[in-house]
């Protein structure tokens, strides 16, 4: 047989090969692992949590469906309402200060200063230390009898006669916790904003300088709009982290004094795990979802809009 008589015959592709050439199938197959992971590790726990919120489950006893009973009861629960209020307040107060100080720090670090890298590394310290450790450090700082701050003010400087009762009254405790959260959160804001600042081309500042822009104008019309996209992302994350904070409060006050510093996360844990009222704990956790979705949407859509970033004339 020579080559001229050879007729190339294409064997028809078998079923499997055809199946893999079929695009919709291929898409499904490629997506399956990712979807599977999401289902098992994200959707299922979330779904279970939401389902638990509508049952009267306790630890060691699977509950039965009670509808909205958990939420009804929470609506009249002074401790829960107080926790909702404080969570919002805590998040708002801490976020505002974290952003103000974080941005300021980022701007300072963006200048050429000696030992820049070392200073930047030091700034990250509060973020690197495990939260529980820093929480315990703050717990000592705020101790009614052994506070270093009280010691300095009373025994060294003699500015006060009595030790400060940081955690003994509701408002003092609230502000103390917010201060600890701010201390912990600033590095994250500062370093991410610094990264954002570095992406702004120096040419823009030079151009503005040549046009005679004052430092404030340069900040307002060059830095701010270009920083907005990253600001939106950082703000979203910061709000989410702060809103769901747990460790600081749990380690420092456990929600006391008189339940005045409970965050929704700590209250959900306290009721759900040590208190073994799983259903009610889950209901409190579920009640956080609307707030989180709202905060995310607000910061994302509002701040990520082009108009905000580049001015109304730049559609």
Partner 1 sequence: MDEITRRGSLALGAGALATAGLIGARPAGAAIPVADVPAPKQPIEAGATLRVIRPTKFVDPDETIWNANTEKFTKATGVPVRVDFVGWEDLRPQVAVAARTGAGPDVVVGWANDPHLYSDKILDMTELATYLGKKYGGWGALPQKYGKKFGSDTWIALPMGCGGGALVWRKSWVNEAGYSTVPDDLGKFLDLCQKLKKNGHPPGFALGNAVGDGNGTATWLLWAHGGYQVDDKGQVAINRKETIAALKYGAELYKTFIPGTLSWLDPSNNKAYIAEEISLTQNGVSIYFVAKNDPKTAHVAADTEHSRMPGSLNGKAPEAANTLNAMVFKHTKFPNAAKEYLRFMMEAEQYDPWLTKCLGYWAHPLLAFDQSDCWKSDPKIIAYRDAQKMQFWDGYKGPINAAAAAVSSEYVLVQMFAGVASGQQTPEDGVKEAERRLRRIYKS
Q: Could you give the C-alpha distances from 206 to 60, 109, 113, 201, in angstroms and in order?
A: 67, 19, 19, 9
Q: How would you class 103 by CB atoms within 10 Å of its CB: exposed for 0-12, middle for 13-18, buried for 19 or more?
A: buried
From residue 95 to residue 134, the character string flagging contacts with partner 1 as x (rule: CB under 8 A) and all else as - is ----------------------------------------
Under rule CB under 8 A, residue 167 binds partner 1: yes
Figure out which of the listed residues 50, 51, 58, 244 binds partner 1, where binding follows CB under 8 A.
58
Nearer to partner 1 by C-beta: 163 or 183? Answer: 163
Under rule CB under 8 A, residue 242 binds partner 1: no
Figure out which of the listed residues 19, 108, 207, 258 binds partner 1, where binding follows CB under 8 A.
258
Spatial CB neighbours of 230, under 8 Å, sequence gap ≥ 6 = 192, 193, 195, 196, 199
Judge whether 225 and 77 are in contact, CB under 8 Å: no
Nearer to partner 1 by C-beta: 65 or 146? Answer: 146
The Cα–Cα gap between 251 and 253 comes to: 6
Spatial CB neighbours of 69, under 8 Å, sequence gap ≥ 6 = 56
Under rule CB under 8 A, residue 82 binds partner 1: no
Per CB under 8 A, the segment of 127-135, 163-171, 184-192, 305-313 that binds partner 1 is 163-171
Q: Residue 74 corresponds to which tokens in the numbers above? A: 């929470």
Residue with tokens 């905060």: 295
Figure out which of the listed residues 39, 42, 62, 75 binds partner 1, where binding follows CB under 8 A.
62
Under rule CB under 8 A, residue 257 binds partner 1: yes
- Provide the binding-site residues for partner 1, judged by CB under 8 A: 58-62, 73, 76-79, 139, 142-146, 162-163, 165-170, 173, 253-259, 270-271, 273-277
């Amino acid at each position: 047989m020579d080559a001229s008589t050879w007729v190339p015959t294409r064997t028809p592709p078998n079923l499997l090969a055809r199946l893999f050439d079929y695009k919709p199938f291929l898409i499904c197959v490629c997506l399956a692992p990712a979807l599977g992971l999401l289902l098992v590790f994200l959707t299922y726990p979330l779904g279970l949590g939401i389902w638990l919120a509508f049952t009267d489950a306790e630890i060691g006893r699977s509950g039965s469906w009670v509808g909205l009973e958990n939420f009804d009861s929470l609506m009249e629960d002074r401790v829960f309402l107080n926790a909702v209020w404080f969570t919002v307040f805590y998040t708002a107060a801490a976020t505002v200060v974290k952003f103000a100080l974080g941005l300021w720090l980022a701007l300072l670090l963006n200048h050429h200063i000696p030992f820049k890298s070392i200073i930047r590394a030091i700034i990250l310290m509060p973020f690197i230390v495990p939260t529980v450790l820093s929480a315990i450090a703050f717990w000592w700082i705020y101790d009614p009898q052994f506070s270093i701050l009280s010691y300095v003010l009373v025994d060294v400087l003699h500015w006060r006669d009595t030790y400060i009762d940081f955690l003994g009254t509701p408002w003092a405790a609230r502000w103390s916790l917010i201060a600890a959260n701010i201390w912990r959160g600033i590095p994250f804001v500062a370093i991410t904003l610094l990264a954002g600042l570095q992406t702004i081309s120096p040419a823009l500042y030079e151009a503005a300088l040549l046009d005679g822009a004052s430092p404030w104008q340069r900040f307002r019309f060059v830095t701010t709009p270009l920083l907005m996209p990253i600001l939106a992302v950082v703000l979203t994350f910061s709000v989410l982290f702060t809103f769901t904070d747990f460790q600081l409060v749990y380690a420092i006050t456990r929600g006391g004094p008189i339940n005045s510093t409970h965050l929704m996360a700590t209250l959900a844990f306290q009721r759900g795990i040590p208190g073994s009222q799983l259903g009610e704990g889950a209901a409190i956790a579920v009640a956080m979802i609307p707030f989180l979705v709202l905060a995310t949407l607000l910061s994302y859509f509002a701040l990520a809009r082009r108009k905000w970033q580049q001015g109304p004339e730049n559609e």
